[in-house]
Amino acid sequence: HWLNPECQGYLMFLHDSQVLSRDNMEFIIDKVLALKDINFNLNKLKWVVLMILLNQPDKEAEFAWMDDIAMGGVLPVYH
């Protein structure tokens, strides 16, 4: 199973925007593929990227930028 073209394009956008390094991008791809989620989509990818950036030291600016892009400043509501 591989990432759909939308997810691939988004990862390249983040890399080209210098939000993700090559190593981070490869790490994210490894984690996504390990999920083996046949319904994996762009929204799920954004969450994976956010969680990985959140847990890395010295990535506060990248996390804030990604949080704004991914969530549009709106926090999800869970039931």
In 3D, which of 75, 71, 67, 3 has the Cα closest to residue 38?
3
Do residues 35 and 6 lie in contact, with contact meaning Cβ atoms separated by under 8 Å? Answer: no
User: Tell me, what's the pLDDT at 75?
Assistant: 47
User: Does the pTM of the predicted model rise above 0.85?
Assistant: no
User: pLDDT tens, position by position, for the chain (79 residues)?
Assistant: 678 999 999 999 999 988 889 999 999 999 999 999 989 999 999 989 888 888 776 766 666 666 666 666 544 454 4
- Listed by start position, the domains of the chain span 5-70
Place of tokens 């790490």: 27
